[in-house]
Structure 1
């Protein structure tokens, strides 16, 4: 399982499938939260995760596909788009340091 230190995270990708808008809202929220940390946040389809992503956030139902698309990346699955503890942990690790595995 890949891991990364929060200080090394420069790009977070929110990967989605259906394009329903919830993942776009999450990406927008993360951009605001991580802007002071010089972290880029992008929204991409789960099958097109960019090679320069450090961390990939995706709904738990898409985690297996994300791992196939980006096997060497830290994949963080979550259950709800707003207020999920997994997303909060990513923000805290970026802001305060520490290891993130997934």
Structure 2
């Protein structure tokens, strides 16, 4: 199990496979939610996850590929592009400076 210190997250990446609309919408939503927290939110393909990401959100079907690219960066899989509890948990932890296990 990996632990994320929400207060230390400065860059969150939403990684997708083909760059279609759903993941772009998720990145935009998370960007708005974390705007006051000084967190950069980027959207990228799974194969191009940047090395300076603090946490990666990706669809559950892409999680293994994302882990292979992200190295030791925590990868949080989700199933729903809107309203997924895993995404909410990460956003809330960052907003409140909490530690979460993923």
Q: TM-score, normalised by structure 1?
A: 0.95
Deviation at 1:37, TM superposition (A): 0.2
Tell me which residue corresponds to 1:93: 93
Could you tell me which runs of 5 or more consecutive residues in structure 1 were left unpaired when the two chains were aligned: none
Residues 2 and 101, structure 1, Cα contact 8 Å, conserved in 2:
yes
For 1:16-39, what per-residue CA distance to the aligned partner results, in whole angstroms no more than 9, with x for missing partners?
002221000000001100000000
Deviation at 1:55, TM superposition (A): 0.5
Deviates more, 1:35-44 or 1:1-10: 1-10
Alpha carbon RMSD of aligned pairs, Å? 1.0
Q: TM-score, normalised by structure 2?
A: 0.95
Give distance in 2, aligned partners of 1:52 and 1:70.
9
| Structure 1 segments of 4+ aligned residues over 3 angstroms from their partners | none
Could you tell me which runs of 5 or more consecutive residues in structure 2 were left unpaired when the two chains were aligned: none
Q: Secondary structure at the match of 1:43?
A: strand
Residues 31 and 41, structure 2, Cα contact 8 Å, conserved in 1:
yes
1:51 aligns with 2:46: no
The number of residue pairs the alignment matches comes to: 102
Q: Secondary structure at the match of 1:53?
A: coil
Residues 2 and 72, structure 1, Cα contact 8 Å, conserved in 2:
no
